[in-house]
A = this chain, B = another copy of it.
């Protein structure tokens, strides 16, 4: 059974995404094995103090990514294959990151400037990109 130990009590972003991130990290890091039983929606919801549907939203995303399997009535299990591990890592890596670097360097920005800018944007993060 996959443990929720280490799940951050405080974190950035909505709860369902933090759950997704937590499982993705486990798959990517190898701390979750193929066929491991996932805690049920209700167990997770009770543990984290959220609604089962919030967990369902996270589990649905994870299933769509191929990181777990669910079927009505039965328990859910992690899927850890070379493909799913790569999928998890790809998500964590987000290939578009290369475009950030590309765009920034092309614009003639110094590395220190770029890091500062990205750090600030990350914290401020407004859809539409307005800052200040």
Interface residues of A (CB under 8 A from B): 12-14, 17, 20-21, 24, 61, 64-65, 91-111, 113-115, 117-119, 121-123, 125-132
Q: Are A131 and B21 in contact (CB-based, < 8 A)?
A: no
Residues of B within 8 A of A20 (CB): 108, 130
Give chain B nearest CB distance to A18 CB in angstroms: 8
Q: Are A92 and B113 in contact (CB-based, < 8 A)?
A: yes
> Interface of chain A, helix or strand or loop or mixed?
helix
Q: Are B130 and A102 in contact (CB-based, < 8 A)?
A: yes
Please, how many angstroms separate the alpha-carbon atoms of A84 and B130 in the complex? 16
Closest to A120 in B: B94
Q: Are B122 and A94 in contact (CB-based, < 8 A)?
A: no
Top 6 nearest A-B pairs by Cβ distance?
A95-B129, A98-B129, A21-B108, A13-B128, A17-B128, A101-B121
Please, how many angstroms separate the alpha-carbon atoms of A13 and B99 in the complex? 16
Residues of B within 8 A of A92 (CB): 107-109, 113
